[in-house]
Amino acid sequence: MRILPLLLASACALAFAAPASAQFAATLNTGYSHVSLDQGGGDINVWDIGGQAAATIPGTGFNIQGDLGYNNLSGSGDSGNSWSGGGAAFWADDMLRAGATANYDGFNGGGSGTVHITNYGGFGEWFAGMMTVGVKGGGLNLSVNQGGISGSTTGAYVGGEVVGYAMPDLALTGTIDYTDLSHGVHETDFTPQAEWLFSEDLPIAVYGGYTFSHVVIANSGSGNANTFFIGLRLYVNGNGSAALIDRQRTGTVGWGTAFSPLARAL
Model pLDDT for residues 18-42, shown as the tens digit of each residue: 433 348 999 999 999 999 988 666 8
In this prediction the pTM is 0.86
For residue 3, the model assigns a pLDDT of: 40
Q: Mean pLDDT, to the nearest integer, of 93-120?
A: 88
The residue with greater pLDDT, 230 or 144, is: 230
Helix (H, G, I), strand (E, B) or coil at 240: coil
For residue 123, the model assigns a pLDDT of: 98
Taking a C-beta distance cutoff of 8 angstroms, is the pair 204, 193 a contact? no
For residue 134, the model assigns a pLDDT of: 98
- Given a cut of 90, whether residue 163 has pLDDT beyond it is yes
- CA 75, distance to chain mean position in Å, is 22
Sign of CA dihedral 264, 82, 33, 24: negative
CATH number of 3-265: 2.40.160.40
**Helix ranges restricted to H, 91-243:** none
Give pLDDT tens digits for 216-231: 988 778 889 999 999 9
Taking a C-beta distance cutoff of 8 angstroms, is the pair 198, 204 a contact? yes
Rounded CA gap, 12 and 26, in Å? 9
Average pLDDT for the chain: 86
**Helix ranges restricted to H, the chain:** 3-17, 244-250
For residue 77, the model assigns a pLDDT of: 58
Question: Exposure pattern of 161-179 as b/e (b: 16+ CB <10 Å)?
Answer: bebebeeebbbebebebbb
% of the chain surpassing 90 pLDDT: 64
Taking a C-beta distance cutoff of 8 angstroms, is the pair 203, 232 a contact? no
Rounded CA gap, 250 and 227, in Å? 29
- Given a cut of 80, whether residue 138 has pLDDT beyond it is yes
Instruction: Write the single-letter amino acid at 17.
Output: A
